[in-house]
Amino acid sequence: MKTFTTPDTMRAWSRAARAEGHTIAVVPTMGALHEGHIALIETARSMADGVIVTIFVNPLQFNESTDFDLYPRPIDDDVAICTSLGVDAVYAPTAATMYPTGFQTHVEPGDLADRLEGPMRPGHFRGVTTVVTKLLTATVADYAIFGQKDYQQLAIVKRLVVDLDLGVDIIGVPTVREPDGLALSSRNRRLTPEQRAAAPAISSALFAARTAVADGETDPVIVVNRTRSRIDAEPHLSAEYVELVDALTLTPVEVIDRPCAVLVAAWCGEVRLIDNLVISPPQI
Ligand code: AMP
């Protein structure tokens, strides 16, 4: 497995592979790889001849410096996982390489970034669109694989590659969960045992919302209120937002009459967790 730390060496490798007729899929990550990332890597492997995993904890997308400082960085374990999965190249640039002195150009997302996570995390999606643009131009892949766990991010990245003609197909992969339903996240390892025991109430509330809608509930206010109360009923959890939106445009709906998504951000102690579920009324 190759390891690259600069965009020029990464791009040279990709261009050479493509010149030989190989297709390439890239999996952008911030490391601390878990089964969710592994599902993305396996999807990449099934779609393309060559797989690149990028590992970069992007300072631009953290709006809280403690969250950035506490973010796990087990690089040796990550490299071992990539090797064992048959990844062809890891691209792990430093922050100084990505954002050298004088760096000043950003990619500004549009309306999709103005709701849900957007107002809660000022600058977050601008950091995401900027880093994803840089990672995609350095890796020159045919496919880029993202998780539906970060539902709004996936929608914004799909828009980004269309708007800026990046020429990459964006592929979404369903959220991988623990047996008790908790969505896998690198932040889960910061939960105390009591918090970890409480955290699955988020996904159970989402599953209950999906069941209610499948059984005919069409009022988004009722679904949102019930979801929020189920989460807030758990002593270690506090919902920051619960929203039910059109699954494609991410705008609020007045009636659940098309595919929708329920998105949640909740605090579990000091750890902020997000999760979501696509829900559809019966017969859709
Ligand atoms: P991160 O390292 O948290 O930035 O995530 C890198 C990629 O993995 C993103 O596209 C995430 O959406 C995806 N991802 C994170 N957790 C999961 C999960 N539990 N299931 C599927 N994909 C995930």
pLDDT for 198-210, tens place per residue? 999 999 999 999 9
Q: What gap in Å lies between CA 98 and CA 105, rounded to an integer?
A: 12
Catalytic residues: 37
- What mean pLDDT comes out for the span 42-69? 96
**Does residue 23 carry a pLDDT above 90?**
yes
Of 173, 204, 234, which marks where a domain is finished? 173
Query: How many structural domains is the chain composed of?
Result: 2
Q: Which of 145, 173, 201 is the last residue of a domain?
A: 173
Which of 238, 235, 187, 232 shows the shortest CA–CA distance to 71?
A: 187
Cα separation, 268 vs 118, in Å, equals: 20
- Residues making up the annotated binding site for beta-alanine are 61
Residue 216 Cα to ligand 1 middle (Å): 31
- pLDDT (tens digit per residue) in 90-141: 999 999 999 999 999 999 999 999 999 999 999 999 999 999 999 999 999 9
Please tell me the number of Cα atoms within 13 Å of 50 on its side-chain side: 23
Among the ranges given (16-25, 62-71, 99-108, 145-154), the one the predictor scored with the smallest mean pLDDT: 62-71
**Domain limit, last residue, from 151, 173, 195:** 173
Q: Ligand 1: which atom is nearest the Cα of residue 176?
A: 20
Q: Is the pLDDT of residue 256 over 90?
A: yes
Q: Do 84 and 18 fall within a single domain?
A: yes
Regarding whether 66 and 163 lie in a shared domain, the answer is yes
State the number of CA atoms in the 13 A half-sphere of 117 facing the CB. 29
Q: Is residue 178 part of a domain?
A: no
Structure confidence at residue 79 (pLDDT)? 98
Q: What is the mean pLDDT of residues 185-209?
A: 97
Q: Which atom of ligand 1 is nearest to the CA of 153?
A: 12
- Which atom from ligand 1 is nearest to the alpha carbon of 31? 2
Residues 139 and 28 in one domain: yes
Q: CATH no. for residue 92?
A: 3.40.50.620
Query: Which residues contact ligand 1 via a Cβ below 6 A?
Result: 29-30, 36-37, 39-40, 146-147, 149-150, 173, 175-176, 183-186
Check pLDDT > 90 for residue 73: yes
For Cα atoms 182, 186, 190, give the angle at the middle one, nearest 5 degrees.
85
Choose one of 33, 41, 146, 186 to mutate for the ligand 1 pocket test, by most ligand atoms within 8 angstroms of C-beta: 146
pLDDT for the residue numbered 111: 96
33 in any annotated domain: yes
> What is the per-residue pLDDT for 63?
87
CATH number at residue 235: 3.30.1300.10
C-alpha to C-alpha distance for 232 and 239, rounded to whole angstroms = 6
Residue 121 sits in the same domain as residue 247:
no
Q: Provide the percentage of residues in the chain whose pLDDT is more than 90.
A: 97
pLDDT score for 3: 98
Mutate to test the pocket of ligand 1, among 51, 67, 150 (most ligand atoms within 8 A of CB): 150
Q: How far is the CA of 177 from the centre of ligand 1 (A)?
A: 11
Parent domain of 217: 186-279
User: In this structure, is residue 180 part of a structural domain?
Assistant: no
Q: Which of 40, 54, 275 to mutate to test the pocket of ligand 1 (most atoms within 8 A of CB)?
A: 40
Q: What are phi and psi of 29, to 5 degrees?
A: -140, 170
> What pLDDT is attached to residue 283?
79
Q: Looking at residues 70-74, what average pLDDT do you find?
A: 92
Answer whether residue 284 shows pLDDT above 80: no
Q: Are residues 81 and 191 in the same domain?
A: no
